């Protein structure tokens, strides 16, 4: 198949699903159609706009209820949530942290903020996330387990933790990863920034590891403008997360006492108000997103050389970002296809440049990354806003 035929058929398939009325179709845009104005106005009217106020508490309680995580601590963004999660899991300067090479840069940055070294891990073609079997074989080779933990025989450094990231909302296979963590004495941190509303075997992502990070950035499944949250089962860690995110200030009516170097990471009340309104609509957003994904799956079924990526069988995915994979033989058409669709006003994107290609992370230790490299060469993200799957908006 040549570029022209492939491009024409992909564009017409996208038009079939997305309709022809809209001249510009974003990759992912937020939707505000609930109590956003009312709650934000109440913040402004009351003067409680900053890091104290009833919406922060309410948002945390609602998040805990929705995810089934006993504790949720709202913070300024997903990167901060990941940073706190790693610190609270005991990641220290000079440690290594296993993390997927195919992820948004924040996953690596949070490790670097701790003074630790990311160790890049390959992906599974079934989930687009970390491959537990391949990682187990690799650790068998390079790691040494003792009562004090896991050591990288090649670098001599401690391997403290592994970060699982649920790519585009699709849960990774968590059970084998949990078994691996136990065997190699690693802490599991979930980067669930993309997977709010995604469940693995009936239980919400971000509740399987010791700690997890959510993100409510403007392009995520729901938004607080900017924001994030730490999830944990552990009441002690939850308390520490709140403490670390509020400059480690000892509660007192008027004294300023702080007992460690900490952060100003608390989510402002204004953002939490937005979050409360968005969370009320989340299941609706996900229903529309899943409907859109179903329409894409059906439309691409008959198209040779292109496969629409579908959720793994053990998952209910939020389908945060839809993706197609070109046949390996057609990877040369990826960039022409990106050009053509964007030119037509249909916003498409390649996956993130893999971490080990970024200048600051190119010298980090890594395993064979051939699956991630192969996926990178032929993956394209498609417009995925919830509104595109709404019944009454359809063409
Ligand atoms: C969005 C995202 C983050 C970070 O979230 P911010 O709120 O933008 O800081 C972290 N990891 C992944 C995989 C993400 O997609």
Could you read off the pLDDT of 317-343 as tens digits, one per residue? 999 999 999 999 999 999 999 999 999
State the pLDDT at residue 327: 96
Could you read off the pLDDT of 250-303 as tens digits, one per residue? 999 999 999 999 999 999 999 999 999 999 999 999 999 999 999 999 999 989
Q: Which residues pair with 152 in a beta bridge?
A: 143
Among 193, 222, 320, which is best to mutate for testing ligand 1, by the most ligand atoms less than 8 A from CB?
193
Q: Could you tell me the two tokens for 24?
A: 């510009």
Q: Which atom of ligand 1 is nearest to the CA of 167?
A: 13
Q: Which atom of ligand 1 is nearest to the CA of 226?
A: 7
Residue 122 dihedral angles phi and psi, to the nearest 5°: -80, 165
State the pLDDT at residue 392: 63
Q: Is residue 395 predicted with pLDDT exceeding 50?
A: no
Span from the CA of 381 to the centroid of ligand 1 (angstroms): 16
What is the residue with the minimal CA distance to atom 7 of ligand 1?
A: 78
104 CB under 6 A from ligand 1? yes
Q: Cα(391)–Cα(395) distance, rounded to whole angstroms? A: 9
Structural domains of the chain sorted by starting position, each given as residue range(s) with its CATH number in brackets: 3-31+282-389 (3.90.1150.10), 36-280 (3.40.640.10)
Largest Cα span, the chain: 72
Q: Cα(376)–Cα(392) distance, rounded to whole angstroms? A: 35
Could you read off the pLDDT of 338-386 as tens digits, one per residue? 999 999 999 999 999 999 999 999 999 999 999 999 999 999 999 999 9
Q: Cα(74)–Cα(273) distance, rounded to whole angstroms? A: 12
Span from the CA of 236 to the centroid of ligand 1 (angstroms): 25
3-state secondary structure of 149: strand
Q: Is residue 20 predicted with pLDDT exceeding 80?
A: no
Could you read off the pLDDT of 56-68 as tens digits, one per residue? 999 999 999 999 9
78 CB under 6 A from ligand 1? yes
Q: Which atom of ligand 1 is nearest to the CA of 228?
A: 7
Q: Could you tell me the two tokens for 204?
A: 């919400």
Span from the CA of 54 to the centroid of ligand 1 (angstroms): 25
Compute the mean pLDDT over every residue in the chain, rounded to the nearest whole number.
96
CA Rg value for the chain: 21
Alpha helices in 198-253 (DSSP H): 235-245
Could you read off the pLDDT of 112-154 as tens digits, one per residue? 999 999 999 999 999 999 999 999 999 999 999 998 899 999 9
Half-sphere exposure of 118 (CA within 13 A, CB side): 28
Q: Which residues pair with 96 in a beta bridge?
A: 117, 159
Among 30, 190, 192, 215, which is best to mutate for testing ligand 1, by the most ligand atoms less than 8 A from CB?
215
Span from the CA of 78 to the centroid of ligand 1 (angstroms): 5
For 221, residues 6+ apart whose C-beta sits below 8 A from its C-beta are 169, 194, 196, 197, 282, 285, 286, 289, 318, 320, 386
Residues 91 and 111: beta-carbon distance below 8 Å: yes
Q: Cα(309)–Cα(311) distance, rounded to whole angstroms? A: 7
State the pLDDT at residue 47: 87
State the pLDDT at residue 348: 98
Q: Is residue 393 predicted with pLDDT exceeding 60?
A: no
Span from the CA of 227 to the centroid of ligand 1 (angstroms): 10
Span from the CA of 255 to the centroid of ligand 1 (angstroms): 35
Span from the CA of 193 to the centroid of ligand 1 (angstroms): 5
79 CB under 6 A from ligand 1? yes
Span from the CA of 215 to the centroid of ligand 1 (angstroms): 6
Q: Cα(228)–Cα(302) distance, rounded to whole angstroms? A: 39
Q: Cα(68)–Cα(70) distance, rounded to whole angstroms? A: 6
Q: Cα(81)–Cα(64) distance, rounded to whole angstroms? A: 15
Q: Cα(379)–Cα(85) distance, rounded to whole angstroms? A: 30
Q: Could you tell me the two tokens for 184?
A: 């190699």
Q: How confident is the model at residue 50 (pLDDT cuts 50, 70, 90)?
A: confident
State the pLDDT at residue 22: 72
State the pLDDT at residue 112: 98
For 329, residues 6+ apart whose C-beta sits below 8 A from its C-beta are 305
Could you read off the pLDDT of 205-263 as tens digits, one per residue? 999 999 999 999 999 999 999 999 999 999 999 999 999 999 999 999 999 999 999 99
State the pLDDT at residue 265: 98
Q: Which atom of ligand 1 is nearest to the CA of 165?
A: 13
193 CB under 6 A from ligand 1? yes
Q: Is residue 306 predicted with pLDDT exceeding 50?
A: yes
Could you read off the pLDDT of 146-169 as tens digits, one per residue? 988 999 999 999 999 999 999 999
167 CB under 6 A from ligand 1? no
Residues 355 and 105: beta-carbon distance below 8 Å: yes
Q: How many residues does the chain have?
A: 395
129 CB under 6 A from ligand 1? no
For 154, residues 6+ apart whose C-beta sits below 8 A from its C-beta are 142, 365
State the pLDDT at residue 21: 73
Q: Could you tell me the two tokens for 390?
A: 């709404």
337 CB under 6 A from ligand 1? no
What is the pTM (predicted TM-score) of this model?
0.97
Could you read off the pLDDT of 70-106 as tens digits, one per residue? 999 999 999 999 999 999 999 999 999 999 999 999 9
């Amino acid at each position: 198949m040549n570029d022209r035929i492939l491009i024409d058929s992909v564009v017409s398939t996208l038009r079939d699903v997305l309709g022809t009325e809209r001249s510009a179709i974003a990759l992912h845009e937020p939707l505000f159609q609930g109590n956003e104005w009312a709650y934000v106005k109440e913040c402004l009217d009351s003067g409680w706009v900053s890091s104290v106020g009833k919406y922060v508490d309410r948002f945390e309680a609602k998040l805990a209820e929705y995810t089934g995580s006993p504790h949720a601590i709202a913070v300024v963004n997903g990167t901060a949530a990941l940073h706190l999660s790693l610190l609270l899991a005991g990641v220290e300067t000079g440690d290594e942290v296993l993390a997927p090479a195919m992820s948004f840069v924040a996953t690596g940055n949070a490790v670097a903020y701790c003074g630790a070294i990311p160790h890049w891990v390959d992906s599974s073609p079934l989930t687009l996330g970390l491959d537990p079997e391949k990682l187990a074989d690799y650790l068998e080779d390079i790691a040494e387990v003792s009562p004090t933990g896991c050591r990288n025989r090649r670098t001599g450094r401690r391997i403290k933790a592994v970060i699982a990231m649920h790519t585009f909302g699709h849960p990774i296979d968590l059970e084998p990863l949990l078994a691996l963590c136990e065997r190699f004495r690693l802490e599991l941190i979930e980067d669930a920034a993309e997977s709010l509303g995604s469940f693995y075997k009936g239980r919400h992502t971000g509740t399987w590891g010791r700690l997890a990070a959510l993100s409510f950035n403007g392009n995520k499944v729901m938004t607080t403008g900017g924001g994030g949250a730490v999830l944990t089962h552990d009441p002690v860690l939850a308390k520490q997360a709140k403490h670390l995110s509020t400059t480690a200030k000892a509660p007192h009516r008027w004294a300023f006492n702080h007992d460690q170097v900490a952060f100003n990471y608390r989510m402002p009340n204004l953002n939490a108000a937005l979050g409360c309104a968005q969370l009320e609509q989340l299941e609706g957003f996900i229903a529309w997103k899943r409907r859109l994904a179903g329409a894409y799956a059906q439309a691409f079924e008959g198209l040779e050389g292109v496969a629409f990526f579908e959720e793994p069988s053990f998952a209910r995915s939020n389908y945060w970002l839809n993706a197609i994979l070109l046949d390996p033989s057609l990877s040369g058409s990826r960039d022409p296809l990106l050009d053509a669709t964007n030119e037509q006003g249909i916003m498409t994107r390649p996956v993130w440049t893999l971490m080990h290609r970024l200048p600051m992370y190119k010298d980090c230790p890594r395993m064979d990354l051939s699956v991630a490299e192969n996926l990178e060469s032929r993956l394209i993200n498609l417009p995925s806003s919830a509104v595109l799957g709404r019944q009454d908006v359809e063409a």
